[in-house]
Chains A and B, each alone.
Chain A
Amino acid sequence: MFELLNKCIDSAVGSGASYADARILISKSRTISSKDGDLEEFNDSENMGVGIRALVGSSWGFYATYDLSDSSLIKAGQKAFLIAEASSKVPGRNFPLADVPIVQDEYITPHEQNPFVVSSSDQVNLLVDATYLMKKQGSSVASGRLNFWDTEKWFASSQGHEIYQNIIESGGGISSLSIGDGETQIRSYPQSFGEYRTGGWEVIESFKFLDHTERLVEESSRLLTAPQCPEGTRDLILEGSQLALQIHESVGHAIELDRILGWEAAYAGTSHLQLDKLNEHRYGSSIMNIVADATLPGALATFKYDDEGTPAQRVDIVKEGIWTGVLTGRDSAAIAGVSPGGMVRADGYGRLPMVRMTNVGLLPGDSSLEEIISSTDDGVYMETNRSWSIDDLRLNFQFGCEVGWLVKNGKITDMVKNPTYTGITPNFWGSMDMLAGEKEWVFWGTPNCGKGQPSQVGHTGHPASPARFKDVRIGVRG
């Protein structure tokens, strides 16, 4: 494969590019979905192709094709150069690429059972059994989904990188939807849209779907008659998977250097963060410690090298509440004068690598969910995301959860439906005063992070444990 990649790269450099890199991918994926005890969808996918990136002056060109013949590879290199040359007609300022070690290496995701070797009937049956059971237990719509990815990547650059990686990811989830008079209520497990990690079939086995069906059905049904979440300002306790999405939206995207530099301004937006405030800006309370760590075993965004050949790293993002780090690529790091963090990835061979969250997580504290609840006089405990929205500076957000529980005088009392909360990023994180510890720290994974044009779907990780936030506006309704 490296020989093929070098044909492509030589063609781009021979045409006049100052730098070129290329990736060949063989991507396998499997999607299984089930509804009410029936198989709704079974799809196996496999594709293979090359994407090449060429730099001319300060301008990039990217070309991708499924055709790996010699003539096509040479044409691909030339096309990448010609596209970069067209870009250079409306140029930006020149920049060097930040230096990274030039390596030849390989990496395979540690896993016990490759999900494409495990019997597909076992996979189908697990999901069909779970949704059948939920339907029988009274769910209006019982659904489940499994996704598996097996991605082989070969990366080479004109600087001499030659890296092979085989990334294996697995995940899925089940949910029970109850339909009432003009409303729907849902409960999901392990989290809304499923839980995803690097690893094989053992990831799915660890979820033990069948142990959770009865609770999901009972709770989704009970929510129909539960009172509305009260409106007002109260203490908010977030379960780990909801906190993971809170981190994703109000920290993860805000610290992407391409956004901070304005590269995503017209689409995904920019950031409220300004680089000249790095190491000064207070992001949250003193118990807020965020790291971006692509080396965490089993987390969804774990790999050995990113799609620019930069080694995976652990980078401090927020230390004791102070903003200290950003997510970078080789070009954005050079422009901003910071170290490249190995955080650039692409969605398949056909997409341009761009800054992507790795495992951006909140380090655990020294409390526990039990302790947090017992020390709360008047609050709401919310579980499992149902809706999310945040402005294009990543400041003003509103989240809805599947279920809320009133907390009075240190005890969970009533279930409430349609719980929502809203806030402003630094105020919200500044109000975090209790954080559960390592025993409740889970490597939550988000498999559906949209960014870029053409659109790319990224897989990101967000380790988190439950936490409490003081005086949050909750219960917003239309």
Chain B
Amino acid sequence: MNIWENLIEDFEKALPSDVQCELKMINSTESLTRFANSHIHQNVEEEITDVYLTIHLNGKTKNMNFNITSMKSAKDIIEKALSGIENNPEDITWPGLADKNNSFNGLKEISPEDPDLRAKKVKEFIDQGKDFNAAGYCSSNVSNVFVWNSNGLNSADTATGAFLDGIFRSETSAGSSHIGNKNLNEIDASNVGKEAYQIARESQNPEDIDPGTYEVILGPDAVSTILVFLSVYGFNAKSKVDGTSPIEIDSNQFDTKLTLIDDPFAEGALNFKIDSSGSKKTKTNIILEGVPKSFFHTRRTSKELKDKNTFHEMFGWGDSFGGIGTNLYLKPGETKKDEMISNVKKGIYINEFWYCRVLDPITQVVTGLNRNGSYLIEDGKITKPVGRLRFTQSFMKSLSQDNVVSVGSENRFADSEFGEGILNVPMLHLKEFNFTGGVSG
């Protein structure tokens, strides 16, 4: 892109020779069509070109970000960044700039999808359950990222994603489904609609059950929420630096049926192949047969923990967040959904979790609720839909040794509390899960 090339040229000219500099640009078009009460009620598109600058001089660091419109000139921005930097405290964890040999170029020219195609997908979803009330969204995005530094690194990459997420509602029930793909054309909206409609239909007139400890079968979106919490609060090396992570590398913390890998180069992976330092990402084993193998590192956390960098710095997030994997795959097992259900003596099927919050990061005790489709399973059969339940459960313990009965045989991209497209997971059957409240509190 010409804007990027011109930007580098201007910054190279304006940059004093003793300054270390990292420059990034995110250029994206994000489009999202939202529907509720079975019609499109919000429909948006945003085009951004945001620039992020990090300056390091005499042991001190300053970050700035701005968009192309607010920027007067490279010289002006550098002057602002350097102004007052000498009064800042020393940046003792400054990790240096990424090596120029880490450069990667995956840039592609891709045009944004048309709003008419998103409207068509929405209609295909809604048409699957005309007697129920449909709501959800269909989104598509094209994002280009660029990173340059004064060490000579110059990287760029393109990512695309499309998602359809929707529910059907009746007076007494709701059912949801979700799908993600690199290409909006590949989204099978009818199929997603059929699944959500079926769940909503079968969830009508739910009955309340007593709180307590139950076996559970978790749908992909519920599994994804557990893993994203463990990623942010556990495998994010920043939480280890802060002393709040429960993860111990090479210990038997998880069930041996679990293997979690971050693979940006897997076929169909939706997110960037470089991290925000501009370094080419690598395939990283996070959990191998129940054993934690790596944290998600940034340059700073790898320096602080004296560990190998895994290149998980996030675009648009500051150093105080740390890093997480964005192309995560939980290895599928061999158990089909029907077989999983048939193996449950008395348990609950949960399609989706809702509003989960950590009570204590180090124990990973989390509270939250179920929604959009839950059923009681008795003697291997679904017997009735169940209402709202509140759980208070350690997510670490939920995946601990011998608590995972089986792993589903089919993966899909799943939604989670912290976003979509970063986790591709199957269903899980867990031996024990602790529900602490029902509809009445």
Contact = CB atoms under 8 A, between A and B. Distances in A.
Nearest to B137: A453
Contacts of B358: 387
B76 to A, nearest CB: 11
Contacts of A396: 369, 388, 390, 437, 439, 441
Contacts of B136: 266
A202 interface: no
A138 to B, nearest CB: 14
Contacts of B80: 44
B41 A263 contact: yes
Contacts of A203: none
A184 interface: yes
Dominant secondary structure at the B interface: strand
Contact of B65 (A43, A60, A262, A354): A43
B356 A90 contact: no
Given A43-B64, A396-B437, A423-B441, A391 B388 contact: yes
A412 interface: no
B88 A453 contact: no
A35 B36 CA distance: 44
Contacts of B133: 262, 265
A48 B362 contact: no
A117 B369 CA distance: 46
Nearest to A79: B45
B393 A86 contact: no
Interface string A120-144: 1100100010000000000011000
Contacts of B123: 89-90
Contacts of B120: 89
A264 B42 CA distance: 11
Contacts of A261: 36-37
Nearest to B71: A46
B135 A398 contact: no
Nearest to A184: B362
Given A121-B84, A141-B242, A387-B367, A184 B361 contact: yes
Interface stretch (A12-20, A64-72, A166-174, A369-377): A64-72
Contacts of B30: 454
Interface stretch (A320-328, A357-365, A470-478): A470-478
Interface string A65-88: 111100000000001001110111
A51 B441 CA distance: 43
Interface residues of B, number: 92
Contact of A120 (B84, B366, B392): B84
B66 interface: yes
A308 to B, nearest CB: 14
A336 interface: no
B92 A478 contact: no
B363 to A, nearest CB: 7
Contacts of B166: 266
B67 A47 contact: yes
B118 interface: yes
Contacts of B68: 66-67
A223 B371 CA distance: 35
Interface stretch (A175-183, A236-244, A290-298, A458-466): A175-183
Interface stretch (B7-15, B47-55, B145-153, B218-226): B47-55
18 contacts: A39-B91, A45-B64, A46-B64, A46-B70, A47-B67, A67-B47, A87-B33, A90-B119, A90-B126, A141-B242, A263-B42, A266-B167, A266-B176, A391-B390, A398-B392, A424-B440, A454-B46, A478-B391
Interface of A: 26, 31, 33, 35, 38-49, 51, 58-68, 79, 82-84, 86-92, 119-121, 124, 128, 140-141, 177, 179, 182-184, 261-267, 269, 350-352, 354, 386-392, 396, 398, 400, 418, 420, 422-424, 427, 453-454, 473, 476-478
Given A387-B358, A398-B390, 13 more contacts: A38-B92, A42-B88, A48-B70, A62-B42, A64-B44, A65-B47, A86-B114, A88-B40, A92-B39, A124-B88, A124-B89, A183-B360, A391-B355
